[in-house]
Chains A and B, each alone.
Chain A
């Protein structure tokens, strides 16, 4: 068969199946991670927007996890931590509010609703999800990330 010159009878059609997407661009993934960040790293399970941004940026990235805390991996610590402020984190928080997982308190801090609390408990109880992130977070106390620590993180000034 001369495939270069033959024309299919029904014509050629292409189906667009959709574009692949990084997992951290999926609302559910990002909202869930923020949920457990609030649950495990923030006292009172609430945090201001700056803290949420900084901690999300830290916990979600393998490089940054390796670089902080310094004692964890002396070699990696020479690399500076570059904390991003990501508008998509704000978007995830907004969506989370829409799904009734987060709420904003009087001083505009993000906190967990009852539904959010229940969902975060389920995530914590499941030993198969967020294994790496949960392991990482469990080495810090809730009181570790004070405003001062967050500020030094953002400034990239680890020592």
Chain B
């Protein structure tokens, strides 16, 4: 079903010699405007483009794109020239439901506006019997998006939507009508250079021709690409969420001197899980113990102490006991002090090591910089005027190494080439970087252990002080050591329990991140690898078949037809995987364009799958004497078939009239034949 049918073009030109003009009616199916060269065919074709405000399809120029015959002067019937005051272009359009007439003036100042007469024919407009018109603006920014923009109106009228596409500068914009229309109109001169030869590249849209064909064929691949992008973004978000939660968990573990077990994955991977059990551990006497085990142990310890504190019995053994404890803790203290001093010197070594690695990385970087200079120098040195060859002696021309060192030439002293040496240095840098990363991690671990050791040392000192105080206390009083211990244990339990509560909350976040990630991941897996849906495959396959069939009928002979493919990336025909533009002879090139554009136009009919084609094809001089007459006859008869599909083809040609008539015999076509100038004086 056609989205846009042109029903009539009318031109009214006010000149110094009176009113000139023409009315050309069009119908469904094939329309042929026939006239000799210079009689105004192309003027009529371009008027259609102009009225639709689509001159941007041909280039970025902001000038009125009409031929001089409609803007400055016109040849009158007696051969003299008449000055033009204003040309008015009317176009009557139908979208299958509604009929409108649009009008645009050739005068520069008025050309920015297009007037739209709803449900009116040109005849009604010209005789002032139409409904009131509404003006829409053109060519200013927003013509495609703002409500009073003509192209916004036109897309609405044709009931299509413009897909968002990527620009070279990274922003997004709609695939403008100017771009979409490139596949509906082949201009007389440059248009026959290749498929989609004239493109509004000035719009700055990335992969423009691919996007246009993709949209026209209604491929789902773009949708898939967007979906893929969104899912990847979701996955990344989930990964970030995971990383943040994990970081928080690590800092919680750190604040209670523990660590996060490596059972919890650092990054989400396929089989990552968040289990019910706690991932928080700490080292007790160099053994890994979970927070929960530690809490249980501390609680039993606490019970023991409080039972001792609460017992009113006078402990006669108390002094002895205290003294043993004192000596035990004094030993512990000296051990801890020793351990800390070892840790400190160890840390010092690590820090020195890091410095030395950093120095090496700095040196390697400098060498790399110098090597890059060398590559550049070598390219300057190889220029015509210098031509250095560092592998042969400038004086005696015997072979030497590219080195200032010993020139003994043997395999042992062979020197790496520049590129290889750069690769070698880069590998070295990678190795040092990895080493540095590992050492930094190591050092921070050591630092954590040092802080932990120091706090334990302080704890021991407090206990020793308490024991000493208890020794001079009355024997009836509860032991100060016990009370102190009780306090220390209680605060540790408290800390561990808070940490575990926090872990519980963080685990919820981790789980939700994991679920989101897995959802996005399975969504991604469901998207076909090539990005093409089943319908897309069907369409491309049908496009290929129809393209090749048409080529055969139009008499293509430059290459074997079975070598043609439709590219899955550009959707254009390729020959042995290269674009065919340069391959074929001039006449075969025209056959390729006919076949391709015709196949695209009729694809919805061949596949029964809907496409976004406007259902309209305008071709100016589709033969240009290049292709053989019989090919043209075949093309004309094919083109006439589109009437049954509800589509429209408009051709302007200066073919020999008798040949044309012969080609059209028995075909239901609308032939508009002009013996002399198309734009004539109106009575």
Contact = CB atoms under 8 A, between A and B. Distances in A.
A129 B373 contact: yes
A29 B373 contact: yes
Contacts, number: 95
A129 B376 contact: yes
Interface stretch (B57-65, B224-232, B389-397, B666-674): B389-397
A11 interface: no
Contact of B403 (A26, A98, A119): A26
A73 to B, nearest CB: 16
Contact of B380 (A19, A100, A123): A123
A74 B383 CA distance: 44
Nearest to B404: A88
A114 B372 CA distance: 26
A21 B370 CA distance: 12
B394 A95 contact: yes
Given A26-B403, A29-B373, A126-B376, A115 B416 contact: no
Interface string A119-131: 1001100101111
Contacts of B424: 20
Nearest to A24: B370
A103 B408 CA distance: 26
A102 to B, nearest CB: 12
Mostly, the A contact residues are: helix
Contacts of A88: 404-405
A85 to B, nearest CB: 15
Given A16-B411, A20-B416, A27 B403 contact: yes
A23 B417 contact: no
Interface in A27-53: 27-30, 32
Nearest to B421: A20
Contacts of B404: 25-27, 30, 88, 91-92, 95
A24 B380 CA distance: 18
A118 interface: yes
A158 B405 CA distance: 32
Given A29-B377, A123-B377, A132-B369, A19 B386 contact: no
Contact of B366 (A62, A91, A115, A118): A62
A22 interface: yes
B374 interface: yes
B146 to A, nearest CB: 46
Mostly, the B contact residues are: helix
Contacts of B415: 18-19, 21
Nearest to B390: A27
B377 A129 contact: yes
A10 interface: no
Interface string B433-477: 000000000000000000000000000000000000000000000
Nearest to A30: B404
Nearest to B381: A28
Contact of A119 (B381, B412, B421): B381
B370 A29 contact: yes
A18 B394 contact: no
Interface in A104-159: 115, 118-119, 122-123, 126, 128-132
Nearest to B395: A98
Contact of B367 (A17, A22, A28, A95): A22
Contacts of A24: 370
B402 interface: yes
A147 B377 CA distance: 31
Contact of B388 (A18, A20, A99, A129): A99
Contacts of A27: 390, 402-404
B552 interface: no
B413 A19 contact: yes
Contacts of A122: 380, 383
B384 to A, nearest CB: 11
Contact of B370 (A20, A23, A98): A23
B236 interface: no
Interface in B341-372: 366-367, 369-372
Given A28-B381, A99-B388, A126-B380, A19 B373 contact: no
B361 to A, nearest CB: 14
A19 B416 contact: yes
Interface string B573-596: 000000000000000000000000
Interface in B465-519: none
A76 to B, nearest CB: 15
A95 B405 CA distance: 12
A130 B420 CA distance: 21
B420 A17 contact: yes
A13 to B, nearest CB: 13
B425 interface: yes
Contacts of B267: none
A62 B420 CA distance: 25
- Most chain B C-beta atoms within 10 Å of own C-beta, residue among A20, A32, A131: A20
A86 to B, nearest CB: 9
A128 B374 CA distance: 11
Contacts of B367: 22-23
Nearest to B393: A98
A29 B385 contact: no
Contacts of A26: 374, 390, 402-404, 418
> A-B pairs with the 10 shortest C-beta distances?
A98-B394, A23-B370, A18-B416, A18-B414, A129-B373, A88-B404, A129-B376, A20-B424, A99-B394, A122-B380
Interface of B: 366-367, 369-374, 376-378, 380-381, 383, 385-386, 388, 390, 393-395, 402-405, 411-418, 420-421, 424-425
Interface of A: 16-30, 32, 62, 88, 91-92, 95, 98-100, 115, 118-119, 122-123, 126, 128-132
Given A26-B402, A119-B386, 16 more contacts: A17-B416, A17-B420, A18-B415, A19-B416, A21-B405, A25-B404, A25-B405, A26-B390, A26-B418, A27-B404, A62-B366, A115-B386, A119-B380, A122-B383, A123-B380, A128-B372
8 contacts: A18-B420, A19-B414, A19-B416, A25-B403, A29-B370, A98-B394, A100-B394, A115-B385
